[in-house]
Amino acid sequence: MSQAQNIARIAFGATMIGAGVLHLTVFRREFQKLVPDEFPIDKDATVVGSGVVEIGLGAAFIALPSKRRSMSTILVAFLTAVFIGNLDQYRKGTNAFGLDTDKKRFIRLLFQPVFVVWALFAGGRFTNRHGGAAES
């Protein structure tokens, strides 16, 4: 693992932990606004559960560098699953986190692929298992 990947892994893990803590504390109500009404689980339970999962995934990504590749796959799956809430926010025009226009909500959607690429890079998914650049 390169030094850049290691730094990216720790930073991404810390970001996930921070987001999880925010789910459980100061932004809990804001995150509840992002849970689609059609989702079959209580909004608060969904926010608390996803916050706990984010903390766990972030901590594992930091603490288990030997599992970084598999952890990055799990993180990408999680990011994909929660993207539904971001799409729902845009589709319904829900105001949350200061995103009070369709343009702001749309721009937010563009950040999810950035997080996916960050997780993949930090997990070594752009290099082969021996540390070299992946072949095309």
Is 42 contained in some domain? yes
Is 135 contained in some domain? no
Is 17 contained in some domain? yes
Q: Which domain holds residue 101?
A: 3-122
Is 129 contained in some domain? no
Percent of the chain residues topping a pLDDT of 70: 93
Is 136 contained in some domain? no
Q: What is the pLDDT of residues 41-57, one digit of tens each?
A: 999 999 999 999 999 99
- With a cut of 90, say whether residue 14 has pLDDT above it: yes
Alpha carbon distance 36, 45 (integer Å): 13
Alpha carbon distance 48, 85 (integer Å): 14
User: 4: burial class by Cβ within 10 Å (0-12, 13-18, 19+)?
Assistant: exposed
**How much is the pTM?**
0.89
Name the domain count of the chain. 1
Is 95 contained in some domain? yes
pLDDT of residue 3: 96
pLDDT of residue 133: 57
Residue with tokens 């990216």: 8
pLDDT of residue 136: 37
Is 52 contained in some domain? yes
Q: Which of 56, 49, 82, 86 is nearest to 71 (CA)?
A: 56
Is 26 contained in some domain? yes
b/e per residue, 85-99, with b = 16+ CB within 10 A? bbebbbeeebebeeb
pLDDT of residue 113: 95
